[in-house]
């Protein structure tokens, strides 16, 4: 009995002497660099996520604005940083993808210069028109444009203009792209009759609910949750799409435990109630973290979509 007791005690002591495998923790402050200036939607979202990460993990997470080139300036610095988990960048996919396609040979980074960590949400870009417009889809808009010597359609970003030119090229619609400063301006121009349709990325939702506007097409790769019966441009015969994702990436070469630790912390912050509410209010959308593999795939697929837009 004494021998058994001694043996059990020795085994217990040995077990206690072996430390449990600890989760990764940063060796210093984590800089979360935001590729846009203060006060915008990306900045607000990034700071909310940084605050949740700090609250949930106890890490020292510092949000910093690094504006310039739609995230290019920020990711230039991130790509050159040490891959130790202490530098993470947040940007929107489309400006980065467009720069990689159009002048990738001049950029100091490539698609594989980063370890991708998480997505937050995707702007649900749509083409909308007044509820009483005499067309309900892109085919109807094209027919209207042909019958009326060209239809003015508003846009506020280069990819949107390229979609309109792509529709013209395929259908000889004669649509006239009208440059605008913001989604709010585009919506007001539609409601005021200055254009017959426009792109929108969230500002239109309240007008759909009131019955003032209708959706002609989803301009992203998938249908939108608020309009599940409205087909995408691709489903309507046009191989065109924009997918502006808000995402996080770090310098390529992160240790596996650091990459997993950052991805886990980001996911917990992104899916937290405060961030969910922020995304719902700002974008009328749900958070959608696709994790490291899904984020990398989003960027790879995005390159192909942008090449189509630019005819490359």
- What's the confidence (pLDDT) of residue 22? 60
Asked if CATH classification 3.40.50.300 holds for the domain at 126-218, the reply, yes or no, is no
pLDDT digits (tens, 9 = 90+) for 24-55: 999 999 999 999 888 777 898 999 999 999 99
Cβ atoms of 219 and 46 closer than 8 Å: no
| Contact indicator for 306, 98 with CB cutoff of 8 Å | yes
Strand partners, 129: 214
**Which pLDDT score, from 0 to 100, does residue 182 have?**
75
278 within 8 A of 270, measured Cβ to Cβ: no
Q: In the prediction, which pLDDT does 151 show?
A: 97
Q: CATH 3.40.190.150: does it fit domain 30-122+244-309?
A: yes
**pLDDT string in tens for the chain (312-residue length):** 444 444 445 444 444 444 444 689 999 999 999 998 887 778 989 999 999 999 999 999 999 999 988 899 999 999 999 999 999 999 999 889 999 998 899 999 999 999 999 999 988 889 999 999 999 999 999 999 999 999 999 988 788 888 999 999 999 999 999 998 777 788 999 999 999 999 987 778 889 989 999 999 999 888 988 889 999 999 999 998 888 899 999 999 999 999 999 999 999 999 999 999 999 887 778 899 999 999 999 999 999 888 888 877
Task: Give pLDDT, residue 241.
Answer: 86
Per-residue pLDDT at 283: 74
Residue 159: predicted pLDDT: 83
Burial of 102 (0-12, 13-18, 19+ CB in 10 A): middle
* 78: nearest Cα among 290, 68, 289: 68
Radius of gyration of the chain (CA): 24
Segments of the chain assigned to CATH 3.40.190.150: 30-122+244-309
Whole-structure pTM value:
0.75
Q: Given this model, what pLDDT does residue 305 score? A: 84
Cα 184 off chain centre by: 20
pLDDT of 145 reads 98
Domain ranges in the chain with CATH number 3.40.190.10: 126-218
């Amino acid at each position: 009995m004494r021998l058994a007791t001694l043996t059990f005690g020795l085994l217990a002591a040995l077990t206690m002497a072996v430390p449990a495998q600890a989760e990764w923790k940063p060796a210093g402050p984590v800089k979360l660099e935001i590729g846009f200036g203060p006060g915008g939607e990306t900045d607000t979202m990034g700071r909310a996520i940084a605050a949740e990460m700090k609250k949930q993990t106890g890490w020292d997470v510092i949000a910093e604005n690094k504006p310039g080139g739609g995230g290019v300036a920020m990711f230039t610095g991130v790509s050159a940083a040490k891959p130790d988990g202490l530098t993470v960048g947040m940007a929107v996919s489309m400006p980065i993808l467009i720069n990689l396609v159009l002048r990738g040979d001049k950029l100091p980074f490539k698609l594989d210069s980063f370890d991708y960590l998480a997505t937050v949400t995707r702007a649900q870009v749509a083409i909308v028109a007044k509820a009483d417009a005499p067309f309900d889809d892109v085919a109807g808009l094209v027919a209207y444009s042909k019958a009326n010597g060209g239809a003015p359609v508003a846009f506020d970003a280069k990819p949107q203009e390229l979609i309109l030119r792509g529709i013209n090229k395929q259908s000889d619609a004669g649509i006239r792209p009208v440059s605008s400063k913001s989604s709010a301006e585009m919506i007001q121009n539609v409601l005021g009759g200055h254009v017959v349709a426009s792109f929108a990325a969230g500002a239109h939702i309240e007008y759909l609910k009131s019955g003032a506007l209708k959706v002609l097409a989803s301009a992203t790769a998938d249908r939108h949750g608020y309009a599940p019966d409205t087909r995408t441009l691709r489903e309507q015969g046009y191989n065109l799409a924009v997918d502006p994702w808000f995402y996080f990436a770090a310098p390529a070469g992160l240790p596996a435990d650091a990459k997993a630790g950052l991805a886990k912390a980001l996911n917990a912050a992104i899916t937290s109630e405060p961030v969910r509410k922020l995304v719902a209010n700002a974008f009328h959308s749900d958070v959608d973290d696709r994790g490291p593999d899904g984020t990398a795939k989003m960027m790879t697929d995005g390159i192909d979509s942008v090449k189509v837009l630019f005819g490359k």
